[in-house]
Chain A
Amino acid sequence: MSIDKLADPLEHGDNPPPSETELRAPGRKRLSKWELYGRRFVRNRGALIGLGIFVLLVLFAILGPLFQQFDHIELDFLALSDPPSPEHWFGTNNAGNDLYAMVVVGLQRSLMIAITVAVGTTVLSAVIGAAAAYFRGWFERVTLLVIHFLMVTPTFLILAMISNDAGGDWRVISLVMILVGWFFSARVIWTLSLSIREREYVQAARYMGVRGFTIVMRHMLPNIGSLLVINFTLGVVSAVLTETGLSFIGFGVKLPDVSLGSLIGIGANSISSAPWLFYFPAGALTLLTVSMALVADGLRDALDPTSAAGGRA
């Protein structure tokens, strides 16, 4: 017998512990699941800070252009490689581009790409992985065959070639990144779903006559929710990194369009002579990933029934 068993007040007995038999007055309205999740998320201070940073970054990307004095493609020949000044808030590069304007645009691009790719891969991998596990039979076998085939193809090369063909259009890049990024996590989700599909509550739902796809969405995916949340955050980070890598070898977002990745790539070359070119985009990227990590942490705790909140509101 383990100690936590001794300490668990809920393991035995037929009534809740006397201290909380009347946790709420009988007349009060019942909370829905989402209200519960919301309350638990709000209670987590780190998650709120993360959410705050993320909202500020999004606002910056949307409202930033209102305050800029220069366009990001406009060249100021009077200020080449200037450090930050009242005129150029973040400084300029050696061609005279205003870095503030470039960071705003780069952040827009990177946010769009990162969020699209992370959402896309997470949804695709979750639905395909869990459905493969639930439906079994030929559907499972075909899905696994496709996944295993994709695993041995050099997807980064395909990605580079296609994005080059598309002339660095960020929409094409994100689409291709989704298509080559879903299968690894899909396979992990499939493995986890194998144990979920054997659970009695899945069987119970089936015996209630709930449709297969609904069971996948309602019972299987929420129970691997923490993994999906982590997948999503890591997806944001890795999407930015992949896009940076692509831009670095010249196959990503192309000038005059910029992204945080391409800005960091350029800035890294002149870190000793013009450090602001590196630090401003890198700072934006760090804030983005840190805020995502905090939000993910909070989400995981809010969704987890066994977390410290103990199954209560």
Chain B
Amino acid sequence: MTLADTTTAVLEVRDLTVSFPSEAGRVDAVRGVSFDLLPGRTLGIVGESGSGKSVTSLAIMGLLDDNARVAGSIRFGGDELLGKTDAQMSKLRGNGIAMIFQDPLTSLTPVFTIGDQLIEALTVHDSRMTRQAASARAIELLRLVGIPNPEKRLKSFPHEFSGGMRQRVVIAIAMANRPKLIIADEPTTALDVTIQAQILELIKTAQRETGAAVIMITHDMGVVANIADDVLVMYAGKPIEQAPVDELFADTRMPYSIGLLGAIPRVDKAEKQPLVPIKGNPPLLVNLPDACPFADRCPIAVDACRRKEPELLPVGGKVEHRAACIRAEEIRAGYIDGHPVYPVPEVPTSALVRTPREERPATLVVDNLVKTFPLTRGAFFKRRIGDVHAVRNVSFDVREGECMAIVGESGSGKTTTLLQIMDLAQQQDGDIRINGVSVADIRSARAERDLRRDIQIVFQDPMGALDPRMTVYDIIAEPLHTIGESKDRIETRVDELMDLVGLNPAHSDRFPTAFSGGQRQRIGIARALATNPKVVVLDEPVSALDVSIQAGVINLLDELKVKLGLSYLFVAHDLSVVRHIADRVAVMYLGSFVEHGDVDAVFDNPQHPYTQALLSAIPVPDPRIERTRERIVLTGDLPSPTEEPRGCPFVTRCPLYRTLAPEQQELCEGVMPPLTGEDGVHVNACHWR
């Protein structure tokens, strides 16, 4: 690695524009992006879906479709990239410029071993390299990215690796030829938080090793605060604010960036302030008028905003901080003329909240829930060779007007728990009681239908959960038809519900495709509320939405809970959202709760080592906190849930376990820790906490 040349830019992008032809007209996906990238620096490009951030990266790689029109200039090490043929670009890709894609499951070829793929990446750019030399280098690379036992793993196929491990291999391939520039397109979005923390660390390592410049494309402000040196915020294909990371977070000037930051729930803040959603939606990138593209959504727009599109100009007398807003000089840290740029919406409080928890009736009681899936082998005669213990002995209760959240990594069994409850599954040694009625008492289909009135579900994917062949009216009316409401009553109730979730009742004769993601989720919520249920089960209701939209849906859920006195059972992997919305939280690991209690107690004073690691892995959208934060990075992945562990299921990854004396470790390995602590307030399953 040479440090001599750190002042000349690796990559110079000037006035990059990309447009695509479409049936509606020319789509201007990128409209004038310019930046310089110095060696060893990291540029974070943030924006919502459709803001043109991925198209920018593909333009740099020369991977756009043939029908894309690219103009401007991209100079890599002084060499103009635009106008190069695909064959010329191939020499650069993977060699000078490397790319890490979002989905590690699809970016490796399943039919070749990872060794073959690594060696291919090495030899394709260096034909003189012998196979021995290449495989020695491959082993070195795998060791560098932290894959244990690399000599053996070289012969493994991608499916033998977990998602996080595969992303490590992808990074190893990206590092293989010591590129000068690594482009990472949402590299951690598909991964769990604990794995995300590992991968972000690894990208930093890769950068240190190769001295490369990194372009980090993400929608997560926390990731930006963690890894970036400079930030470029994109909106409607144009950079609207560009600054060093500290500047951007401390002194945000452009209203859109302020809105983006205000819309994120914070995992490290306890106060329950409503989030600030940005109203409206991004403009179509077809025939944009010469006006600020954000003006229609901006709370402080003036007439001048609509006259001319503002240029990206330096603000506050600093050359490196530039914003595209004519009022940027007036804005200081989210305030303009002493008022916040975004007025904070009011959220009502209810009398229920003031009633102590113990005095409120329990609407959902789950006692000792167990679910095992049989593991079978054999094509014709299925032999049972083991069990997958998806959920083990989970017990909790949800009171009226309360939101209980279950958090955990993928594979921890949180969704299975939900589905067991929704299936009203009979339990061997346990029980599920909804509003006082036990599922064991269900004798007829009629009794089941009656019970289902009280518990309804909202799904994760707002598109998949709505039948595309039904109009919104029919969708919302379906649960009402099922319980046998009269036609007139349904008619008024549907209008009422549409109004309740903030949709125009006049739109009820449209099909769901005519609505945006956030609106579809509102339709899903309206359907769930149709029968006036006591409990609403929410399965990752906001994880498929953009942040500015997500804030609106979270506020709606908050408001409905208070207005209608609902109980929520909320499943999420995003702990910031959970902190914002939940009253009680349970942390799930390998099918059982490891910590359970009041949300502030658990988040402010996490006791179980797993909870501590989980919380420390979440990036906070504040670069100063990010830099000084002590992070517990868990090693390894979730172990397989097939075997029944005798002791604590977390021993394989536990950081505390490694610091214990041998006789203390024996206890961990031999005895399953029960949930202990202050009952009903905060309990954890660790022998030593």
Contact = CB atoms under 8 A, between A and B. Distances in A.
Contact of B506 (A3, A4, A9, A28): A28
B109 interface: no
Given A15-B280, A219-B467, A210 B516 contact: no
B514 A312 contact: yes
A225 interface: yes
A23 interface: yes
A195 to B, nearest CB: 11
B466 A201 contact: yes
Given A16-B507, A204-B457, A209-B452, A10 B516 contact: yes
B50 A208 contact: no
Interface of A: 1, 3-7, 9-18, 21-26, 28, 30-33, 36, 199-201, 203-205, 207-211, 218-219, 222-223, 225, 303, 305-306, 310-313
B514 A209 contact: no
Contact of B512 (A1, A209, A311): A311
Counting contact residues on chain B (CB < 8 A from A), the size range is 35 or more
Most buried by B among A12, A32, A33: A12
A3 B452 contact: no
B29 A6 contact: yes
Nearest to B462: A200
Given A12-B282, A200-B465, A201-B464, A313 B509 contact: yes
Contacts of B517: 11-13
Closest 4 A/B residue pairs (Cβ): A13-B281, A311-B513, A311-B511, A209-B449
B473 interface: yes
B420 interface: no
Contact of A207 (B457, B466, B483, B514): B457
B55 A312 contact: no
A14 B281 contact: yes
A227 to B, nearest CB: 13
A10 B462 CA distance: 13
A150 to B, nearest CB: 23
Interface in B311-361: none
Contacts, number: 168
Contact of B469 (A4, A30, A203, A222): A222
B177 interface: no
A7 B518 contact: no
Contact of B504 (A21, A30, A205, A219): A21
Given A208-B456, A209-B482, A16 B284 contact: no
B629 to A, nearest CB: 31
A294 B65 CA distance: 35
Given A24-B506, A201-B466, A6 B513 contact: no
Contact of A33 (B49, B58, B471): B471
B175 to A, nearest CB: 25
Interface string B456-495: 1101110011111111011000110011000000000000
Most buried by A among B49, B68, B279: B49
Interface of B: 20, 22-24, 27, 29, 48-50, 52, 54-55, 58, 65, 68, 277, 279-282, 284-286, 296, 422, 445, 448-449, 452-453, 456-457, 459-461, 464-471, 473-474, 478-479, 482-483, 504-519, 524, 527, 531, 546, 548-549, 552
B508 A30 contact: yes
Contacts of A33: 470-471, 474
Contacts of A313: 509-510
A203 B464 CA distance: 10
A17 B286 CA distance: 13
Nearest to B23: A7
B280 A30 contact: no
Q: Secondary structure at chain A's binding surface: helix, strand, loop or mixed?
A: loop
Given A10-B513, A11-B49, A26-B506, A3 B466 contact: no
B281 A15 contact: yes
Nearest to B505: A26
Contacts of B20: 3, 6-7
Given A3-B20, A30-B509, A207 B469 contact: no
B546 to A, nearest CB: 6
A312 B519 contact: no
B502 to A, nearest CB: 9
Contacts of B23: 7
Contacts of A25: 506
Contact of A200 (B464, B473, B515): B464
A7 B286 contact: yes
A10 B459 contact: no
Contacts of A310: 513-514
A15 B510 contact: no
Most buried by B among A200, A204, A210, A211: A204
Contact of A311 (B445, B461, B479, B510): B510
Most buried by B among A14, A21, A225, A303: A14
A209 B468 CA distance: 20
Contacts of A208: 452, 456, 478-479, 482, 531
A210 B474 CA distance: 14
14 contacts: A6-B27, A10-B515, A11-B50, A12-B49, A12-B516, A14-B552, A15-B279, A16-B507, A25-B506, A26-B505, A32-B471, A222-B467, A312-B514, A313-B510
Contact of B459 (A9, A21, A23, A204): A204
